[in-house]
């Protein structure tokens, strides 16, 4: 029901920026998504939706003159493998790390900025994090093959990484079982949305981290086609950023989903 309401809100937003054409799209762009509510997720009927998906589907793709084919939801490692093999063309909501920069193309324009947080049990003595030393001796759960904030890269902080698409549930279960001292999440908005939707908000403490906001991007294959798609995307996305389209979607989506 929430997803249906959110879809109506997004439709209203995009109606203001509609593109109408009598031409059939001659080109298909294949997108792979991983689970990151409310940016990429299943809808009530089992299809794939979310802010990043609908931004591409309703704003970016029509202005690039392409048809969007969305595949997933996959574990993030699987999505990256599909991009590398050429089975898909793009992945949204990706952070920039050296391993990805070596293999893929990042655009000039960002998709959004995200902030990090640490999830602990309500009875945890940790109430704030101001420096890496506050984390020393802790075992922290996180996602494999993802951007790790510099303050967590220290041999005195143990990271346990998982690859499963439902990595948040796995890490939270380990937290509640006492196997982890905390769970790292680099997307505060997404994590709060997830906790609220699952009914977990009162079962944890969410601690904002003193880290710089991280940029996320749509990433492309490092091929001639990938470069062409990236350049066309940059032209369209730059206008979307000026108009604040993505941020409007985030505010509407989160406000409705948290009710």
Give percent of the chain with pLDDT exceeding 90: 83
What is residue 254's predicted lDDT score, i.e. its pLDDT?
A: 74
Overall domain count for the chain: 2
Domain containing 51 equals 2-113+214-257
My answer on whether 148 and 177 are in the same domain is yes
pTM of the model: 0.86
Smallest CA-to-CA distance from 132 within 160, 113, 155, 114 is with 155
Render pLDDT for 78-133 as a digit per residue (tens, 0 to 9). Answer: 999 999 999 999 999 999 999 999 999 999 999 999 999 999 999 999 999 999 99
- Tokens of residue 120, six digits: 């602990």
109 and 6 within one domain: yes
101 and 188 together in one domain: no
Same domain for 102 and 121? no
Same domain, 160 and 71: no
CATH number at residue 161: 3.40.190.10
Same domain (yes/no): 69, 141? no
CB 162 within 8 A of CB 184: no
Instruction: Please check whether residue 226 is in contact with residue 89, taking contact to mean a CB–CB distance below 8 angstroms.
Output: yes
For residues 122 and 234, membership in a common domain is answered with no
- Residue 9's pLDDT is 58
Count of C-beta atoms within a 10 Å radius of residue 242: 8
Mean predicted lDDT score pLDDT of the chain: 91
Q: How confident is the model at residue 22 (pLDDT cuts 50, 70, 90)?
A: very low
My answer on whether 179 and 126 are in the same domain is: yes
- Whether 108 and 120 share a structural domain: no
Q: What is the pLDDT of residues 147-171, one digit of tens each?
A: 999 999 999 999 999 988 889 999 9
Shared domain for 105 and 180, answered yes or no, is no
Q: Are residues 167 and 245 in the same domain?
A: no
Write the pLDDT tens digit of every residue in 171-203: 999 999 999 999 999 999 999 999 999 999 999
43 and 78 in a common domain: yes
């Amino acid at each position: 029901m929430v997803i249906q309401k959110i879809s109506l809100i997004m439709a209203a937003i995009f109606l203001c920026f509609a593109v109408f054409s009598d031409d059939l799209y001659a080109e298909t762009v294949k997108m792979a998504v991983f689970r990151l509510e409310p940016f990429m997720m299943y809808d009530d009927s089992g299809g794939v939706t979310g802010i990043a998906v609908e931004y591409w589907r309703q704003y970016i793709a029509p202005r690039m003159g392409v048809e969007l084919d969305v595949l997933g939801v996959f574990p993030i490692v699987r999505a990256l493998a599909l991009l590398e093999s050429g089975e898909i063309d793009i992945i949204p909501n990706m952070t920039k790390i050296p391993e990805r920069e070596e293999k893929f193309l990042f655009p000039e324009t960002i998709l959004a900025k995200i902030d990090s947080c640490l999830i602990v049990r309500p009875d945890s003595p940790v109430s704030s994090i101001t420096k890496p030393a506050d984390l020393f001796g802790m075992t922290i759960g996180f996602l494999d093959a993802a951007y790790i904030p510099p303050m967590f890269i220290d041999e005195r902080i143990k990271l346990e990484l998982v690859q499963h698409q439902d990595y948040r549930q796995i890490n939270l279960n380990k937290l509640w079982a006492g196997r982890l001292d905390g769970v790292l999440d680099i997307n505060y908005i997404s994590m709060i949305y997830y906790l609220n939707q699952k009914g977990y908000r009162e079962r944890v403490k969410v601690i904002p981290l003193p880290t710089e906001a991280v940029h996320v991007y749509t990433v492309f294959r490092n091929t001639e086609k990938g470069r062409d798609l990236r350049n066309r995307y940059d032209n369209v996305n730059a206008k979307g950023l000026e108009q604040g389209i993505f941020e409007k979607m985030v505010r509407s989506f989160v406000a409705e989903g948290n009710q």
